[in-house]
Each structure stands twice: as structure tokens, then as C-alpha cells.
Structure 1
Amino acid sequence: MTEEKRLLTRGEAAAYCGLKPSAFSDWVRKGTMPKPINGSRRWDKKAIDAKLDEIAGIQTARAPAINDDGESELQKWQREHEVIQADRPKLRLNDRQEQALRYLHPRHPEPQETRFIRGVADRTLEELVEKGAVAEVRQPKDAPRKFKLTPLGLDEHARYEREDQRQIDRYRQR
């Protein structure tokens, strides 16, 4: 006897619901379907079933357990997940850009030359300038180029720091 898998990719979840992947994504964005499991790109088949039952007006045999705040475990998870998702890094940096951003953190408030940032070239910092995370500091004509974090870059750096701390906390909980 083969057991069906519980976690589905976006395409599998869409097919399970009888939708095209783009329509399924629209339903997820609108809140009609649940979001993927935290930290993955997989949907829980039971969560999809529960949402479909809710849409159809079908009462489940077991009412969800409600905590003292008047929310179910699923609602609590969704609320916590939204807070975590909102605090994740937003600029979609590649490894070199992230490395440069981490080097130009608040402990290096003075403008830095590219040569001090290991493995990073001017082009990487120019890309960060385009994203608004870094600003080039004007220098005399023949002086080396220097860069510093912008307020957006400081915010992104703080999000990376909090993400690192969440990963450490998850590791310690094991």
C-alpha cells in the first residue's frame, strides 16, 4: 500500500484543488488558501482541505482547539508566521551583496573602501547603491571610492541579524 504524501509543491497543490498554479497563487495571496509551511515552499494537504471545507461551509468533525486569546492553533501559527515573514530580509541580496552589507554594519559607521571588504568588488557595491542599501561617499578626484550604509541598508542589516538569531534559537530548540 502506497501512502500519499502530505506536503505538496505549488503545482501539486494547485492540481489537488483543480486550479492552475497561477490561480492557486492568487488564492494564496487573497487568503482563500493557506500560505506555505514556514521556511519552505510546500503546502500541507490537511491545511488545504481545512480551507476548502471552510469555503464550502462544511463543518469538520472536530472543532479546532481555541486558546485563551480566542484563536485556533492554525490562526496562532498564521499570525506568528506573518510577523516572521514581515521581518525577513527584503532586498533579495546575493551572497556578495550580503557580505558587503554585513561588513558595512553599524560597527563600521565610517565610509569604507571596497578593498577592505573581502571578496567584494566595486560592482557589488554599485548594485547595493542601485538597491538603495548603500551610498557612495564623495571623495577627491583620485581618492579610492568609499561606501556607507543608508537607512534602508541599516534596516536590512538588522533584519539579517534577527534572522540569524531566529536560526540560532531554532537550532538550540532541537
Structure 2
Amino acid sequence: MAERNSQHTKRNHYVPQFYMRQFALDDDRTKVKCLSRHAPYVSVGVKSIARIGYEEDLYTFSVAGSKASIEDDLNQTIETPIVNSDTLKKIVAGEPDRLDQSDKLTLYLLMRHLQFRNIENLRFIEQEAAHARDFGFRDDYSEDEREMYAALSRTAAGPPATSFPWQ
């Protein structure tokens, strides 16, 4: 687990940056087209991938008084190997017909990773934390789940507000 220090990643992306880069408009693959809300209007604009689809310290937690985050570990152990894989290179090159049995595990890991690292899962975590705060724990919670939701519920307003691409 990555210890918190001056190099600690504060912006924890629930939409992985490597995924958003597949839609980049610029050669550096750092900007995407997205919606912006300027009440009462919604407009289409270009934003930096680093500044959308994240929540500050989403994957940060305290262990014995020291802050740690899994964001850097997710990046290093899952996302970077997927991005550098021959499987993703075939997909990005528009050559899915070159995929074979050897790509099966990488594709499975990519799909599972994207499935759990998204706004819907974040909303579920926020909902469960609110329920734990307001009504107590559900009967089927494990001890780990009870500890996690209790920690989330102790914050002033539950989990912090999310930075959406259109805000």
C-alpha cells in the first residue's frame, strides 16, 4: 500500500485515466471532450483528463494514524500492466481480430477493473455509508464492511463530494 507523502496521489479517479486517454483529442493524450455545466446552460468543452472523473482521497484511509492510499497501487499493479499489454495494443490499433486465447485473462482483468472503478460503484458506497450512519449496519455486513462504513459515517457529511466531468 502506498504510504502518504508529498508524492501521494490525492486525486483518486473512479474513471481510470488510462481508459479516458482512449478518447483523447490531443497528441499528448491528456484532453477529452466533455460536458460542462454553467447554470442554467450545459456546453461542450475540452478538459484535462487529470481534472475529471475523480474524487479527492477516494481510496485514502487511515491505518494506525497514518494515511495510505490504494490509488498508486491500482495504477502500478493493474492499470499500467494492462496499458502496456499486447492485448490493449491490439484493441487500440483497431485489430480485435488479432485477439486470441492468450488475451483472455487480460481482457477479463480489464473488464473487472472497469466494472468496479466507476461512478455507480461510488454511489453504492456512499449510499451504504449513509444507511450505516442513519440506521446502523445491515445484518449481512462482514466485520470489514462494518468497519469501513463506520469510518465513512464518522465524517461530517459522509463521503466527500465528487468532482464530475460536467461540473
Structure showing the higher helix proportion among its residues: 1
Query: Structure 1 or 2: larger strand share?
Result: 2
Q: TM-score, normalised by structure 2?
A: 0.26
- Could you say which structure has the larger radius of gyration? 1
